[in-house]
Chain A
Amino acid sequence: MRKKILRSVLSTGLACSVAFSLVACGGAATDTDSQSVSDPEEREKVSITLGRQTTANPKFPEGDNYEDNAYIRMAEEELNIDITDAFEAESGDDYNRQVSLALSAGEIPDMMKVASKDEVRELYENDLIMDLTKYYDEYASDYVKELYDSFEGRALENVTFDGMMMAIPATASDPGTSMCWIRQDWVDGLGLEVDGDGDRCLTVDEVREIAKAFMTGNPENAENPVGMAFDISLTSQGSDGTNSINAIAYSVGAYPRHWYTDESGQLIYGSTTEQMKEALSIVRGLFEEGIVDEQLGTRTWDDITSLLTNGQTGVVFGSWHIADWLLNNVYTLNNNAVFTPYAVVSSEGKVNCTHSNSTGEFVVVSKKCKHPELAIMILNLFYDDMVNSDELLEKYPEVNDYLNTGVDGTARPFNIEVKSNTYLLDEYSKLKAALNGTGTKEDIPTAEEKSNYDAITAYNNGTGDVTGWCKIHSRTKGVDLLSYLTDKGLYNWVTPIYPETTNTMETNWANLQTLEEESFIKIVTGAVDIDEGFDTFVKDWKAQGGDTIASEITEQVTNN
């Protein structure tokens, strides 16, 4: 009896281990054929798998999806490949989980996007990703190489480990300053004078006077006119922060949420500086005067948008592109609305601005991938050919439709942007030339900018269409201001350090951010004394992990 039980237990155990070794080994790569032939014309069709980052609202035409859409069909046709998705997930936790699950089985897709340098490093250390150096040198088009070179080495340095290029970096060009958008129709109606010297720059004091004049003038007879409003988080990581006090802070040399080194090489966190205190005291002054409304600290983006659409406020800070997605709401409700953007300058008359993190996203290629050169070819196809070759778009009219109807960029095989650091200004200069007659529509390089051209000319011909209004504001006013600042040499650039997430950041950063936001709100609304409040914040911030993080980052910087 007992023997039999023992035997059955043993055999069950054996069955288990056999079964497990079977399933566990199923995934191992079998090294089969072939010296890879890289010319798409000459070789057999190749299958590649991708890890895809998605968005909840990609705006596909009916019938298309992530695996089968115009971009994918073009890549499959042009490169003689067959693309399947190993996984699709929205960015953030969902995507990280899929990467992790794939990794746990020891198998990453042939190519996938990763969202942090930490991950690239980990994949490199686990020996799972391919050295792309020679493929990049051999296959990348001159144009693509130029794009990366426009970042003066910052882009490629980021993906170089022990002298090897381990990933294709995305680029993020500088979004420029956070502008002060002012209701021009109100200015005209009230007979105010703004920017008398015509340098398209204002000091904080000048902004204050306009906001005050708007409140007293109250051109739309709103119930509760508000001078200006800010989002509850006050500052923003992006230099162009919308609904933030960034413009005011930068004008006094404070760079909240940024790490950078001072002249002595000391690492500094911008939110803890004396300049930041000065910036907060300026906003506190605005609050005390009643120009920033008393609901500061509860305002959200939605609220501020309704302040604008209700005609309660006519001054808003934000990026060059807010006309496309925020100010458009104002125009929809009130066709008389016109905005003019101004830069906010320091006492030296300069516009302080921070360079953005040139590479925050990457595409890596699996070590097991048979045709790593395809990654570079996809790169060429989407970031060179599709931008520069009209024939390609004529061959694939559905791709052109995608560009025109704004199908989300996640539909492309790699959801990254690879553009030159100055693409925004370069493209705009062509658009401007076409609009003022010194160039033609055909000279405009990108489909997106061409459709902007069409929208603007249509609006100018009297259609009054909201898209035209948006593009006039975002391009011929917003980007125009950025290009003006660049041309006149008005920028004072700061190059921050964008650290990899440190151990202490992982656990404490969220709380430190909360501490920062709450302390700043208390200071600005006068709930605490400014000197005492700010000193307490700096002390708490340091004690709750800020100092540790700073030393971790210093170590990181010296090691790299």
Chain B
Amino acid sequence: MIDNKSLGSRVRLSVIYLLVIILGLLCLMPLINIVAISFSGSAAVTANRVGLVPVDFTLMAYERILEDGQFWRSFAISVARVLIALIINLLLVIPMAYAMTRTKDEFRFRDIYMNLLIFAMLFNGGMIPTYIVVKNLHLLNTIWALILPGAVPIFSVILMMNFFRGLPAALEEAAYIDGASPLQVLLKVVVPCSKPSIATIALFSIVGSWNDFFGGLIYIQKVEKYPIMTYIQSLSINLQELVNGAANSSTLQNVSELSNRNLNAAKIVVAVIPLLMIYPFLQRYLIGGMVMGAVKE
């Protein structure tokens, strides 16, 4: 700022602009490529002629998605999962985090609960025992198997607890003096003051639920009940491997239809759209929240 009139600083500034723009483009280009592929003819895609602009522009891939029942079933499952998980997470996390802000005098078991939380965050029994529990609760192949094992995101509890601690204590005290119960204080005083931080953990929940594919791999045993990311994951097939092991010609016909890269690209693009729709909020709350969490004094 101070000496930016000199030639040297101008050159430096140009180099900086250039570097930053290159880094930005590097982030964007692979994503543009997949969008371009989704709008291109399959011959051009197979021949690797698609870079950043669609070649032989066509909407065929998107038309085929519209008719693809499985894709939309999975999409709907993921939407439902995101909404239900969001409600459950908020209902469990907010009161819990509030109770964790109490001192030992106010809430004698606070430290025990806190240690149980931390331990559960750091340690787990592994995939198979959790699977057996989910199975014996008869949750397999239901949306609940995707939601309930992650009903309490402990990281969010801790984040929320820290947010609540930052609120001015005087507000609550006034309410308690007026004879309000903790629930009333939480609902009437604490929650209204914490909208941005609640938005933050809500967005964590949404992004996490939408992007998760592994829960679907383990707990969902029927393709038609896959959530969207598990479905997308199942599309990636090894063509050559399938062909070498394939026994009959009808399987091979299926394979040649599946190797349709522009169709898969279109599915990927559509599967990302919900996240792009909430991206402005993500940028405002998650990134803002991260800064708050990390650099607070």
Residues of A participating in the B interface, judged by any CB pair closer than 8 Å: 5, 8, 23-24, 26-27, 54-57, 59, 62, 65-67, 85-90, 92, 94, 97-98, 101, 104-105, 172, 233, 236-238, 242, 301-302, 306, 321, 324-325, 406, 408-409, 417, 474
Q: A226: shortest Cβ distance to chain B, in Å?
A: 16
Q: Which interface class (under 10, 10 to 19, 20 to 34, 35 or more) fits B?
A: 35 or more
Q: A368: shortest Cβ distance to chain B, in Å?
A: 16
Q: Is the CB of B256 within 8 A of A417?
A: no
Please, how many angstroms separate the alpha-carbon atoms of A433 and B241 in the complex?
37
Q: B24: shortest Cβ distance to chain A, in Å?
A: 33
Q: Is the CB of B250 within 8 A of A408?
A: yes
In the complex, whether B272 has a CB less than 8 A from a CB of chain A is no
Please, how many angstroms separate the alpha-carbon atoms of A233 and B240 in the complex?
10
Q: Is the CB of A325 within 8 A of B240?
A: no
Q: Which residues of A contact B257 (CB under 8 A)?
A: 57
Please pick, from B112, B132, B235, the residue contacting A56 in the complex, using a CB distance under 8 A: B235
Residues A26 and B217 in contact in the complex (CB < 8 Å), given A57-B257, A89-B223, A302-B259: no
Please pick, from A27, A59, A87, A409, the residue contacting B248 in the complex, using a CB distance under 8 A: A409
Q: A346: shortest Cβ distance to chain B, in Å?
A: 25
Q: Is the CB of A105 within 8 A of B244?
A: no
Please pick, from B222, B254, B258, the residue contacting A87 in the complex, using a CB distance under 8 A: B222
Further 7 A-B residue pairs, CB within 8 A, beyond A85-B222, A172-B247? A23-B136, A104-B128, A104-B132, A301-B239, A408-B250, A408-B254, A417-B247
Q: Which residues of A contact B253 (CB under 8 A)?
A: 324-325, 406
Q: What would 14 A/B residue contacts be, using CB atoms closer than 8 Å?
A: A23-B132, A55-B251, A55-B254, A56-B223, A57-B254, A66-B222, A85-B221, A101-B218, A233-B240, A302-B259, A306-B46, A325-B249, A325-B253, A409-B250
Give the number of residue pairs across the A-B interface with Cβ within 8 Å: 92
Q: Which residue from chain A places its CB closest to the CB of B231 in the assembled complex?
A: A56
Q: Which residue from chain B places its CB closest to the CB of A242 in the assembled complex?
A: B243
Secondary structure of the B side of the interface? helix
Q: A223: shortest Cβ distance to chain B, in Å?
A: 14
Please, how many angstroms separate the alpha-carbon atoms of A408 and B253 in the complex?
10
Q: Is the CB of B217 within 8 A of A94?
A: yes
Please, how many angstroms separate the alpha-carbon atoms of A65 and B224 in the complex?
8
Q: Which residue from chain A places its CB closest to the CB of B70 in the assembled complex?
A: A56
Q: Which residue from chain A places its CB closest to the CB of B243 in the assembled complex?
A: A301
For window 197-243 of B, CB contacts with A under 8 Å fall at: 217-218, 221-224, 234-235, 237, 239-241, 243
Q: Is the CB of B249 within 8 A of A56?
A: no
In the complex, whether B295 has a CB less than 8 A from a CB of chain A is no
Q: Which residue from chain B places its CB closest to the CB of A22 in the assembled complex?
A: B136
Please, how many angstroms separate the alpha-carbon atoms of A86 and B41 in the complex?
40
In the complex, whether B165 has a CB less than 8 A from a CB of chain A is no
Please, how many angstroms separate the alpha-carbon atoms of A97 and B219 in the complex?
11
Q: Which residues of B contact A242 (CB under 8 A)?
A: 243
Q: Which residues of A contact B240 (CB under 8 A)?
A: 233, 301
Q: Is the CB of A88 within 8 A of B222?
A: yes
**Interface digits, B127-138 against A, CB 8 Å rule (1 contact, 0 not)?**
010011101110
Please, how many angstroms separate the alpha-carbon atoms of A62 and B73 in the complex?
13
In the complex, whether B79 has a CB less than 8 A from a CB of chain A is no
Q: A469: shortest Cβ distance to chain B, in Å?
A: 15
Q: Is the CB of B131 within 8 A of A101?
A: yes
Q: Which residues of A contact B254 (CB under 8 A)?
A: 55-57, 59, 408
Q: Which residues of B contact A474 (CB under 8 A)?
A: 249
Q: Is the CB of B46 within 8 A of A27?
A: no
Q: A172: shortest Cβ distance to chain B, in Å?
A: 6
Q: Which residues of A contact B133 (CB under 8 A)?
A: 23
Please, how many angstroms separate the alpha-carbon atoms of A52 and B46 in the complex?
33
Please, how many angstroms separate the alpha-carbon atoms of A85 and B221 in the complex?
9
Q: Is the CB of A105 within 8 A of B258?
A: no
For the complex of A and B, the 10 pairs showing the least CB-CB separation, nearest first, are A87-B221, A23-B136, A321-B249, A26-B136, A324-B249, A57-B254, A88-B222, A104-B128, A325-B252, A325-B253
Please, how many angstroms separate the alpha-carbon atoms of A67 and B221 in the complex?
12
Q: Which residues of B contact A90 (CB under 8 A)?
A: 223, 234
